[in-house]
Homo-oligomer: A and B are copies of this chain.
Amino acid sequence: MTAFGVWAPGRRRVDLVLDDGRRPMEGRPDGWWEVTVDDAGPGTRYRFSLDDGPPRPDPRSRWQPDGVDGPSAVDDPAGAEWSDTAWHGRPLASSVLYELHVGTFSPEGTFDGVVEHLDHLVELGVDAIELLPVAEFAGRRGWGYDGVLLWAPHHAYGGPAGLRRLVDAAHRRGLAVVLDVVYNHLGPAGNHLGEFGPYFTDRYQTPWGQAVNFDGEDSDEVRRFVIDNACMWLEDYHLDGLRLDAVHAIVDESALHLLEEMAGAVERLSGRLGRTLWLIAESDRNDPRLVAPVAAGGYGLDATWSDDFHHALHAALTGERSGYYADFGTLAQLARAYRHVYVYGRHRSPSRRRHHGRPVSESTPGTRFLGYLQNHDQIGNRAVGERSAALLSPGRVRVGAALVLLAPFVPMLFMGEEWGASTPWQYFTDHEAELGRAVSEGRRREFAAFGWSPDEVPDPQDPATRDRAVLRWDEADREPHASLLAWHRALIALRRRVPDLGGGDRGAVSVDFDEAEQWLSIQRGATRIVVNLAARAQRVPVGPGQPSLLLASAPAALSAGGGVMLPPESVAVLRER
């Protein structure tokens, strides 16, 4: 016996469409329609027909065995077997995250394919994996940000059962699992949500189409749809946290911002489940309100991505200055990111043509912010999707890794970064012909503005574009990859071993640097990270103490006259005795 329900206010008639016919549903005054079917159960396929219109999948479908255009199927989360009953989650502030895309992490491109490589991640030393969105999107290939059935793990990845197996396997290994969820827009194909109710509004615009109606008439149910969805992932799939995509495009002008309401709901869920749960925002707003406590007028999220640190680091290491990297490039900015988190904390941003952000208070721990040298966007939004290892000398790659993994932030790696994967990470999609052509054309046009000729830009629709992104696991054991992997392992182990490095105390951070000589000396308590970015060896001052060397990416030597002698493009970690 299964109870079906759907919110479709303003409809005169809603039918449940099963393989063997239609059942009229009963309308409630609050816009919900309900029917209970005796002989339906796990696996039963169904759709809804609104006012005798074409059958549509359930907006809250838990399973789309045939994709976005097929019927929904009844899932049975309560019947799932779990072996992680002892798991209580872990603190985000002491974790290292690892972002991965299910469809390209393994050749299989499935949840089970991810399981195959979890031991590698345990050996690497990370604490949590963060999955790019898995909610059902059109086609079999894609990054996941075009999801339209937000409650269903993608059928090509292995559906609900596959995701449960992955989370269970991760927890057995002590790994937490975070899922990227997209609440700021829906994908362009297979989105029928607007037929069911006022999920969208024209009062605001987003870069990706219609804004979601979080503050207009009948928005209570839209908010509930999203907050229930967040809680569903965390509860039914035992997930440890969510990464909320592009929250700056969630426009909610009501007195209680959706994110604050969500944080409250997740906090209550955490109490009920007895597990630590994380909410991590992605935002380009540079707004500390996201992670400030509710009592201080904040939204009470656990952490937010910090692109300024990425941009400052990327621009300093690569010398790139196009697009938004025009706002970055100096060591002073990198130092500011280390000290103050935001480089633009109410400073004028040339690329934005306005002042941007606001300062982060000194008392806000650095671990409220994620720090990374690479992520899916920063690689994949390049024309040809080169990773840092393809852009930088081996020395600079090691410097970048150290500056991320020893930062006062929560470090995050992107899959394959740890061994300098040779595979690019390019934008790919699997849309039907017409939309697909538009996407391919749009991509070519976008990069034509930056001087790329059409045949240089990979076609998102070409299956080979996805295939090129699949990690080559055999690389990891071979040079030059193996030694880079060892470097990442050593850095993570060091972060874990040295309390100065593991925490997010920004008060204990001070940074010296010389823009002309291209060195940087970062003090974190009694520990110091010393970087030489110059093409020549040089002595970098390390303060008055008598330090010892903890780790170095190249033969560094303590100098008798004070300081440390660093080879070109290298980093060393010292500890004052």
Contacts and interface: CB of A to CB of B under 8 A. Distances in A.
Contacts of A555: none
A216 B296 CA distance: 27
Interface string A265-301: 0000000000000000000011111001001111000
A82 interface: no
A233 to B, nearest CB: 24
Given A217-B354, A248-B253, A255-B287, 20 more contacts: A202-B205, A203-B205, A204-B251, A215-B354, A216-B354, A217-B352, A217-B353, A218-B354, A251-B251, A254-B285, A254-B354, A255-B285, A255-B288, A255-B289, A255-B346, A255-B356, A255-B357, A256-B346, A256-B358, A296-B297
A355 interface: yes
Given A217-B354, A346-B256, A289 B297 contact: yes
A354 B255 contact: no
Contact of A254 (B297, B348, B356): B356
Interface in A184-202: 202
A302 B120 CA distance: 58
Nearest to A293: B297
Interface in A343-363: 346, 348, 352-358
Given A204-B203, A289-B297, A220 B354 contact: yes
A229 interface: no
Contact of A297 (B205, B248, B256, B292): B292
Interface in A319-357: 346, 348, 352-357
Interface of A: 202-205, 215-220, 248, 251, 253-256, 285-289, 292, 295-298, 346, 348, 352-358
Contacts of A256: 346, 355, 358
A300 to B, nearest CB: 11
Nearest to A294: B297
A15 B12 CA distance: 63
A253 B285 contact: yes
Query: What number of copies of this chain does the assembly contain?
Result: 2
A356 B223 CA distance: 13
A298 B292 CA distance: 12
Nearest to A220: B354
A287 B260 CA distance: 14
Contact of A255 (B253, B295, B353, B358): B358
A219 B358 CA distance: 16
A547 B534 CA distance: 85
A338 to B, nearest CB: 20
Contacts of A215: 354
A204 B206 CA distance: 10
Contacts of A298: 297
Contacts of A254: 285, 287, 354, 356
19 contacts: A204-B204, A204-B205, A204-B251, A218-B353, A219-B354, A220-B348, A220-B355, A248-B253, A251-B253, A254-B285, A254-B287, A254-B356, A255-B286, A255-B289, A256-B355, A292-B297, A296-B296, A296-B297, A297-B298
Contacts of A355: 220, 256
Nearest to A201: B205
Nearest to A203: B205
With most chain B CB atoms within 10 A of its CB, the pick from A219, A256, A356 is: A256
A171 to B, nearest CB: 36
Which of A218, A255, A354 is most buried by chain B, counting CB atoms within 10 A of its CB?
A255
A217 to B, nearest CB: 4
A346 B260 CA distance: 13
Nearest to A348: B220
Contacts of A295: 296
A353 B217 CA distance: 5
A478 to B, nearest CB: 46
Contacts of A219: 354
A555 B423 CA distance: 90
A134 B219 CA distance: 37
A137 B416 CA distance: 63
A464 to B, nearest CB: 37
Nearest to A285: B255
A361 to B, nearest CB: 10
A185 to B, nearest CB: 14
Nearest to A346: B256
Nearest to A215: B354
